[in-house]
Structure 1
Amino acid sequence: MNHTIVTLKKGEGRTIKSGGLWIYDNEIATITGSFKNGDIVLVHDFDGYPMGRGFINQNSKIRIRMMTRKADQEINEEFLRMRVKNAWEYRKNTVDTSSCRLIFGEADFLPGLVVDKYETVLVVQCLALGMEQMKETIVSLLKEVLAEDGIEIRGVYERSDAKERKKEGMPIVKDFIGPEFDTNVEIVENGVKYLVDVKDGQKTGFFLDQKYNRLAIQRICKDKRVLDCFTHMGTFALNAGIAGAKEVTGLDISEYAVQQATENAIRNGLQDVVKFRAADVFDELPKLEAAGEQYDVVILDPPAFTKAKNTIKNAMKGYREINIRGMKLVKDGGYLATCSCSHYMDYENFTRVIHQAAASAHKRLRQVEFRTQAADHPILWSADESYYLKFYIFQVVDEK
């Protein structure tokens, strides 16, 4: 056991004292003992009170990520098995596990690690140096724990290709962990079939966090004319189609996304109802409005417009504009589904923007429901970064 002790400044450590897992570089008073980046260290409060153990990295502003609150707990294979087993048991109790997020970093007390399961394939993303050293052990433990429930994993692919790794002093990695396998995986979610490309798809191949939000829009799409903006792989559009929509249009700026979405429509026998085309949503919505188009349901699922605090103002303009445009395209009494997947665009800011958009579009909104990310992406209270997805469904009523 490494006996390096990190002592916090007086008055610091508020995040971990309230249940979070991060200690920043400017919160530390002293470090005693020798260590190398990625090692587990013991954290003391300013008065010597032991606060737990975590791994240190002097390349990162997030200097320490906590692994346990118990100062005498060994971070070994037995400990990691306990964390992995707890994560899997939680998913079995809360979500459809055929395809789901198995490990969600800090919210599963395995900071910096994400593991998604697509049927019998695992996709791993590691964003922290300390976790990098445990990654392969955790993968083999996951395989063992899943095998206990009769699930044999046929392949593991690593998608550690996010820029955050550079902040940790680590190279970008995109490769197989273990034997090579076919990286196109068919999954079924809410009755819709998709082909997921875990090697070259966005993030880890698919956005599992919207699973139950996609299901929620099925109720309002039967016999309706639907517009799905920023459709990506056609997920909301196909949920509308399978729910019995009479006509669905999906828009995305990426030709590759449109091609994938079209193939997914064919896979579900929905190609006559659900159509996709490549277009910049910001350019296209004013054109549709000018042409007098009206829809029963408009869905806005944009990428994160902000990934930093200093770009929130510009992001708010972007969210305001698409929501104004989207609302104007909804028939009186129709529905708007709108969301933000940016952690920095918090609930208050996002809600304020929608209020402003409704006033500008001269529309009244009746809230049908407010939702967030699926339960396999749990929100750990006190770890703010784990809460990022905000999703509203409104009925849009003309002011008259």
Structure 2
Amino acid sequence: MTADFDLDGLAAGLTAEVTEADERLFAVLVDTTLDAAMRERIRTPGVVMPAQQSVLAVHWHPEHVPMDLLRQRIEASYPAMRTSLIIPTQHNQLLEYGPYSGVEVDCYSRGFNQKVQLLLHFRTERMGDAHVLKSMLAHTHAYRSGQLFDYLFTVTKPDEERLALAARESGSDEAVVACARACCLKLAALLEKHEGSIPVDAIKNKLVRNFVEGQRPVLGNALANRVQVFLKEVKAVVKARFPLTYFYRTSEFIEEVRGLGGGVVIPHPEQFWPILLANYDVDGYEVWNPQSQRYTEFLISVLCEKNRLRRDGERRMLVFMGDDTHMGEKTLAVSDPAKARREIGLQPAWDDLAIGKKLIVADMDRARVIEEYAARLDG
């Protein structure tokens, strides 16, 4: 299959045939090893907060970066750190950082008929008894790699209904769709060719985005940007059509966590807003992260009101903020600039004056949340 386009005066040619340049690009994108320069880049923080004494980081993704390097980066980022609660939350993979372990899990909220996510946190020493939880996570983890292939097949087979919807939502024409198909055909062929030798951590949806980014020298910026917009819509359609029955229910995960003495936090409430109405047995809600900033003050007020109305003996809902850092982005030659700028524990909303007023009313700050949540996990 060959597609040749002239878009906005820019000549671009692309075929679905895999070239040597595609092989080299693919090898870079799926390589999770770190050379000396990468390791030094990980050790060296992008931002240093010399005066911050309390570090709360309970929503971040190590990806393929070793914990010893992350520890060095965190310590360099916060030289005045005195109190901290730092727990990794890899997608559907339980990881430990010192005394605590965590995971961000995909699950199904039956009451709202939608997929949601939970942040689960534990004392590491209790994970020896987490056989059921680990089995649930192993099943759920397969969803992400499976979805990548569904994503690619939607474009390469193709699924005309899904493609038409994505094209309409993104305003994409036939040339853009054909170019996206050529890129996905290349990537699908490379995945098939190298099946069995690709690290599991590399098989995820963002491989599509990164592969297209690597084609910019051929496509030009205008066409590459339009292809990315179209493929983002395809991904949204694929996610929306994924069968929810695949996932364990939210209540099932919460029940298992409570049996292990763990904690539960709702991330991305701006995205999963109906869950605020569910009265799930959780410890708190994330009111800010780099993707969810619009309703921070409102969400703090909601939690404050929930706490005001709680019954005797009920624990209060805590305010959390998540940096949602993806450390793998810092190792890529081609990365998402917005994600690459994130840093573990960097949550400037805590120090925003307008938000600070709401936090004072709610009787919340970083140090207090660290103290209260750690006490629950340790209890």
TM-score by length of 1: 0.32
Higher strand share: 1
Higher helix share: 2
- Quick one: higher RCO (CA 8 Å, sep 6+), 1 or 2? 2
